[in-house]
Amino acid sequence: MARYETIDGLLLLNKPAGLTSNQALQRVKRLLNAKKAGHTGSLDPAATGMLPLCFGEATKVCAFLLDADKTYRVTARLGIATDTGDADGAEIATADVPKLAADEWREILESFLGESLQVPPMYSALKKDGKRLYELARKGETVEREPRPIRIDEISMLEIAGTRLVFWVHCSKGTYIRTLVEDIAKKAGTVAHTARLHRESVGDFRADDMLDLTGLEEVAASGSECLMARLLPPDTALEGLAAVELDNEASDRFAVGQLNSVSGPATTGLVRVYGGANEFLGVGELSDDGQLAPKRVFRTGEKNP
């Protein structure tokens, strides 16, 4: 039976264009010789940028990262619509591009600020009656999709030149940038598709901490220790949560899923939980009456068979 390295951490991959998120994950997983791995917040194959990869016990934070806000640099091609909403799709419509001033484009972009409802694209991984929407779309089928709530916190125009519109956006989970581009174009009186999409950040993670595949392969060539030194601790993904520290006895109870009474931060809801020597124990839920219930218990450092 194959033996795997004991790996518990996160890696921020600068995903290249041309790979699915899972293909990128599998390449890094092989480099690390990791047994358990997952990714959060899939990027389209044509898209580039930050893809958090989770290994070992860090896979337990995947669900929390899915809820994180994201930022993107977007390049839209005005005047041409495609069936997929991006440059990989087939052209399905064309339209003249109105001659608008830069301030007019800024006004259109800023009109999308705040909360709204967005209809997901057919080319997406969402399911309808057990089938992925993109599977139905490839058969030429179109089904009704329920609008979903999204939020645009910031949006700013970077460039407008002819049929090229470049903007930056900070948005909530579940926001489809391809649909946003189409909606922006519709408001301007034309059509468009996403020509390039680069995700700059996920949650509080910094772009400076990203590594591309070539860089990872170079680090791996220096030895597995060098590669694992680039991993981030699992609790890095949870810095937005308040922290609670437990004594040894309470830590033992938390580790086996038992409730604890704590006098911690003036907060309720999900919290990061630490034991002695600042050991990360997992994620707990703190109630109004100071009861801490384990939600995700972490057991880092355990050997993989």
Inter-CA distances, 215 with 35, 40, 211, 241, Å = 22, 21, 6, 31
| Cβ contacts of 208-216, under 8 Å, gap ≥ 24 | 209/12, 210/12, 210/13, 210/14, 210/49, 210/50, 211/11, 211/12, 211/13, 211/14, 212/13, 212/14, 212/16, 213/13, 213/16, 213/24, 213/27, 213/28, 216/11, 216/13, 216/28, 216/31
Q: What are phi and psi of 302, to 5 degrees?
A: -75, 145
Q: Which of 44, 83, 86, 183 is catalytic?
A: 44
> Per the structure block, which two tokens stand in for 80?
């041409």
Backbone angles phi, psi at 125, to 5 degrees: -90, 5
208 included as an active-site residue:
no
Give the phi and the psi of residue 220 in degrees, each rounded to 5.
-65, -35
Q: Looking at the annotation, which residues are catalytic?
A: 44
